[in-house]
Amino acid sequence: MKITKQRLKEIIQEELNAILEGDRRVPPGFTDATRMPGAASELEPYRRWTQNRQFRAGTWNMNNGTILVVDRDGRPHVWIPKSDPGAPRQVSAQEAMTAVEAAGFVEDRNLPVPYSNF
């Protein structure tokens, strides 16, 4: 694969911006909430909230063990606990929270958490 000089400059600039802004990439184990089953109804409170308030990318919140992070593009991603505590997960709750904190996400306790009311 050949990368043009211009594209290489863009990639480097994107990476530098991510470092300077605090890299708020989605941690491992999180799923794009907009692509999950039932997303339309689950994300409705989230959409209403973001329309009525100043919304910041790079925030997180937790409810009933479900963790929500908002990526740098403003998309919601969730880590959902399994109903069977013995079921294997790609990333444990502790690993997920450690990754959220390491990536520089800022807690917003007012942010509604989709898929958390079971």
Mean per-residue pLDDT over the chain, rounded: 78
| Residue 5 belongs to a domain | no
User: Looking at the 3D structure of the chain, how many domains does it have?
Assistant: 1
| Residue 62 binned pLDDT confidence (cut-offs 50, 70, 90) | very high
Give the position of tokens 């790609």.
90
- Using the CB atoms, write b or e for 53-84: b if 16+ within 10 Å: eeeeebbbbbeeebbbbbbeeeebbbbbbeee
61 lies in some domain: yes
| Residue 48 domain-assigned (yes or no) | yes
Q: Considering the domain boundaries, does residue 71 fall inside one?
A: yes
Report in angstroms the alpha-carbon separations of 14 from 9, 11, 21, 25, 42. Answer: 9, 5, 10, 12, 32
H or E element, residue 63:
strand 59-63
Comparing 27 with 67, the larger pLDDT belongs to 67
Q: Does any domain span residue 10?
A: no
Residue 77 lies in a domain: yes
Would you state the pLDDT for residue 107? 94
Tell whether 29 is covered by a domain. yes
Residue range(s) defining the domain that contains residue 54: 23-107
Per residue in 70-117, pLDDT (tens digit) is 888 788 888 988 765 655 567 888 999 999 998 889 999 988 888 887
Per-residue pLDDT averaged across 32-48, rounded?
77
Do the domain assignments include residue 8?
no
CB atoms closer than 10 angstroms to residue 3: 9
pTM (global) more than 0.75:
no
Confidence class for position 53, pLDDT limits 50, 70, 90? low
